[in-house]
Structure 1
Amino acid sequence: MKNSNNEFMSVERISSPSKAVFNKQYGFASRPVLITGMTDNWNAMTRWTTEFFESRMGQYEALASRSRDRKDKKQMKVREYFSYMRNSTDNDPYYLSNCQFHLKTDMTADYTVPDYFISCLQLMEDKLPLQFRLSWMFIGAANTYSALHLDIFNTSAWNAVITGRKLWLFYPSEQARYLYNGNVNPFSPDLEKYPEFSKAKPLVCVQHPGEVVFTPSGWWHAVLNEEGGISITENFINETNYDIVRATLAHYQKTEEARIVDECMTRYLVEENNASLLI
C-alpha cells in the first residue's frame, strides 16, 4: 500500500468493553475501534473451518466479483469458491462477498452479538426478507478487497475475522473531499488521476482471527484481505446512530428497503420511550 504522505494513525485496540464504556468512548463518539476477546466463546471460531463450509455449506451459491474490475461477476457455489481460493493465481481474484446463506442455517447459533451491537432491525427480524437483515458472510482470497465506501444508510457495522487477516483504512467524513466519492483505490492510488487523495490521512488497523472491528456511521473505509479467509459482518442501528440514519433515510426515495428500515426505527423509538417511562 502506498500513500504519498505516509501519515497513518493506528485504530485503538480494547478488550471486551461494557456497553456503557463502548457507547461513551466509541459509539456516541464515532470512533473506529478494534475489539479483542469478544469472540472467545463463539463456536464459530472452531466450527467454521474450510472443511465445514465445503461439506455443509458447499451447495449454496453467491455472487463473486473481482475487486478492481467490479463489473466482472459470476455466481459460484461455496465449495467451488474454496477450490478457486486454493488454486487461483489471478492478479484480481474473485471475492465471494455479501453472502447470506448463514441466515438460512443453524450458523447463527455459532456467534453471539454483544448488547452494544444489537440492532433495532431485530425487532422485526422474523418479518424481514434476508437482504434487509444486514448480515453477511465474506469469503475472500488473498488480495481481494472491499472498495472505499460508506455503509448502507449510514449505519454502523461490526466485522469479525474467523480466519485470515484484514487491513482496514478509515477516513472520517471531513476527509470526504479527498476521496473522489470512493472511486480511488486507497491500496494503490493513482495520484495523477486523483491528486487530492494525497491529503487523506487514514486510521489503520490489521485484524487477526478472533478480533472484531467497529465501523461508526459516516466513516469511509476500505478493507484488504492480506491473507485469504472468512469473516462475518453485520450493520446495525441503535441509540448511538439513530439520528444519523434517520436523517440519511430522508434523502432516499421510499424504496421497500428504506421503508422497512424506517418502520423498524419508528418501532424502536416507541419501545425505547415506553421503557424509559417504566424506570
Structure 2
Amino acid sequence: MQFINPYFCVINDELPSYEEFYKKILSKNVVCLIDQRLTANWDCRKTWVTNDGAVNLDFLQAKYGNKMCPVYNCNKKYYDSNPSKMMHMKEFIEYWKTVISQNYNYESNDVLYLKDFHMFQEVTGSEDVYSVPQYFQSDYLNEYCLANKLTDYRFVYMGPKMSSTPLHVDVFGSFSWSANICGLKKWLLIPPKNVKKLKQLLPAVPGDLYSVPGHEEILKQVEAFEITQKGGQTLFVPSGFMHQVLNGEDTISINHNWINAANLTLIYDNIIEAHEQVQKEIKDLKATLSKEEWQENCQKILAMHFGINLTEFLKIISHIASRLEKESTKSTSSTQKFRFEHDVDVIFNVATKIRSNDHFESCWNQADMIQKQLSTIKHKKLAKLL
C-alpha cells in the first residue's frame, strides 16, 4: 500500500486484509487504485475482451444486442450531466464500429457513451460475469434495493475512445468502485474539503475543468489530482470526491455506488444538509402547513432533489438492523465479526442522532425500533462475554 498523496494510495503489493482496508482506506475516505488481481478471474475479463485486449464488440452485440440501454451524448450538456436516450445495444455497437472504422473522427459523429446500464438486474444470469471484491461486499444500499426489488446501483459503462463523464459528485455522496474490464480511464479528482472552494472560484461548475481558462491554477488551489486506470484495475472513489472521467481508449467498466458503516454517518450528514437547504427554499410555505404536512413536504422534495430522504434512509438501515439481529446468534469468521460489530455500532449511533433531531419527529418511532434491535444484540454479546 503506497500513498501517492494524502488523498490517494495504490495497492500493487500484498493485498491487505478487509480490516486493514476498512481502517486505512474506507474509514479514512482515501481514494485507492488496486491492481488487476481483484478482477483476474472474472468471466467478463475473458468474454467481453478479445485476445489482444480490445473490446469484443461482436460478442457483446450477439449476447446483449436486444437489450435497451441508456446512451448519453457527450457533446451536449443537460444540467450537470449529458442528455440521454434509450437505444438497443446492437444499435450502439454498430455506432461504435463506425467510429472505430473512421479512426475516431467525431466531426461527423457525436461522442456517445452507454452508461448506467442496470445489466445485472435486467439480464438474467449476467451477475455471473463478475464477483464483488471482498472490500466492497458490505453494501447496505444494494442489499436493501435487491431485497425489496428496487432499482439497484450496479452499473455497466461502455464507450469508445474520448467518451466521458462530466464533473460531478456521486449520488448521495455515496462510495463508488469502478473496475475496468478493458481500456483506460483518465480521472481528475477533487477532495471533498475543496469542493466548496471550487464552487467559489467559478461562476458555475463546468462539465470539464480542463476547458476553463486558467484551469492550471484552479486545479492547484483545490488540490486536484489525476489517476490513470488501466484494464483490470479497480478504483475506489470515496464519499464526496468531485470527479470527471475520460476514456483514453475503448473502455468497459463495472461500477457500483454503495453505502456501509464506514460512510453511513457521512451520508446521514449529507441528508441533513440537503434537508436544511430544502427548508430554506420553501420556508414561505411553513406558516400555511401543519407540522406534519411541513415535514412530509420537506421529505418529498428532499427525495426528488437529493435522490433519497430520511424516510428511505431509515428503511435501509432498518433492513440492515433486522439482518444483523438474525445473524447475531451465528458463528462468524474474524472478518465477519469485525464487519458485524462496526455495523451495529454505527447504525445505532446514527439512529440515536435521528432520534434527537426535532425536525424528524415523524421518524422517531422507527429510530426507536432500530435502537431496540441493536441494543438487544449488544446485550446478548455482553452476556456471552460474562
Q: Is this a same-fold pair by TM over 0.5?
A: yes
Structure whose residues are more often helix by fraction: 2
The one of 220, 237, 245 equivalent to 2:267 is 245
Q: How does 1:1-279 map to 2 (within 5 A)?
A: 11-15=8-12, 16-36=15-35, 37-48=37-48, 49-71=56-78, 72-88=83-99, 89-90=105-106, 92-105=110-123, 106-118=125-137, 119-124=139-144, 125-130=146-151, 133-176=152-195, 177-179=197-199, 180=202, 182-186=205-209, 188-191=210-213, 196=218, 199-250=221-272, 251-252=274-275, 253-254=299-300, 255=303, 258=308, 259-269=311-321, 271=324, 272-273=343-344, 274=374, 279=381
Aligned mates of 2:378, 2:248 — CA distance in 1: 46
2:330 alignment counterpart: none
3-state SS of 2:161 partner: coil
Gap regions ≥5 residues in structure 2 = 49-55, 100-104, 276-298, 325-342, 345-373, 382-386
Kindly state the Cα deviation for residue 17 of structure 1 after the two structures are TM-superposed.
Answer: 2.8
Identify which range, 141-150 or 50-59, moves more after superposition.
Answer: 50-59
CA distance in 1, matches of 2:250, 2:227: 17
**Cα distance in 2 for residues equivalent to 1:39 and 1:174:** 31
Which residue type is aligned with residue 98 of structure 1? Answer: D
Q: How far does residue 220 in structure 1 lie from its aligned partner after superposition?
A: 0.7
Letter in 2 for 1:241: N
**How far did residue 261 of structure 1 move?**
4.1
What CA deviation, in whole Å up to 9, does each residue of 1:125-147 have, x standing for no partner?
131322xx111111111111111
* Contact 1:11–1:205 (8 Å) recurs in 2: no
Q: 1:197 to 1:56 in 2, by over 3 A?
A: same
Residues of 2 paired with 1:201 and 1:67: CA distance? 26
Whether the 8 Å contact between 2:142 and 2:153 is mirrored in structure 1 is no
1:21 and 1:162 map into 2 onto residues whose CA distance is 26
Question: Contact 2:191–2:222 at 8 Å: present in 1 too?
Answer: no
CA apart distance, 1:75: 2.5
Distance 1:14 1:249, change over 3 A: same
- Structure 1 or 2, whichever has the larger Rg, is 2
- Distance in 2 of aligned mates of 1:94 and 1:226: 14
**Per-residue deviation, 1:161:** 0.6
Deviations 1:104-130 (A, max 9, x none): 221112211123312112443131322
- When the two structures are superposed, what TM-score results if normalisation uses the length of structure 1? 0.86
Distance 1:102 1:193, change over 3 A: same
Which shifted more, 28-37 or 194-203?
194-203
Q: State the Cα deviation string for residues 207-233 of structure 1 (Å, max 9, x = none).
A: 111110000001111111000121110
Distance 1:101 1:123 in 2: 16
Partner SS, residue 183 of structure 2: strand
Q: Deviations over 1:229-257 (max 9, x none)?
A: 21110011111101011222232544385
Distance 1:276 1:80, change over 3 A: farther
Q: Cα gap change, 1:79/1:32 in structure 2, threshold over 3 Å: closer, same or farther?
A: same
Q: 1:208 to 1:96 in 2, by over 3 A?
A: same
Length-normalised TM-score, structure 2: 0.63
- Letter paired with 1:70: K
How far has the Cα of 1:159 moved from its partner? 0.3
Number of equivalent positions: 269
Which moved further from structure 2: 208-217 or 117-126?
A: 117-126
Relative to structure 1, the CA distance from residue 33 to residue 87 in structure 2 (aligned partners, 3 Å threshold; closer, same or farther) is: same
Structure 1 contact 191–198 (Cα < 8 Å) conserved: no
Structure 1 runs not aligned, ≥5 long: 1-7
Task: Report SS of the residue matched to 1:143.
Answer: coil
Task: Please name the residue that 1:4 is paired with.
Answer: none
| 8 Å CA contact 1:246, 1:262 repeated in 2 | no
The CA distance in 2 between the partners of 1:86 and 1:262, in whole Å, is 46
Q: Which has the higher strand share?
A: 1
Q: Please, which moves more after superposition, 144-153 or 17-26?
A: 17-26
Q: Which residue is equivalent to 1:5?
A: none
Deviates more, 1:266-275 or 1:161-170: 266-275
- Taking a change above 3 Å as real, the CA distance of residues 109 and 115 of structure 1, as seen in their structure-2 partners, is same
| Alignment RMSD (CA, Å) | 2.6
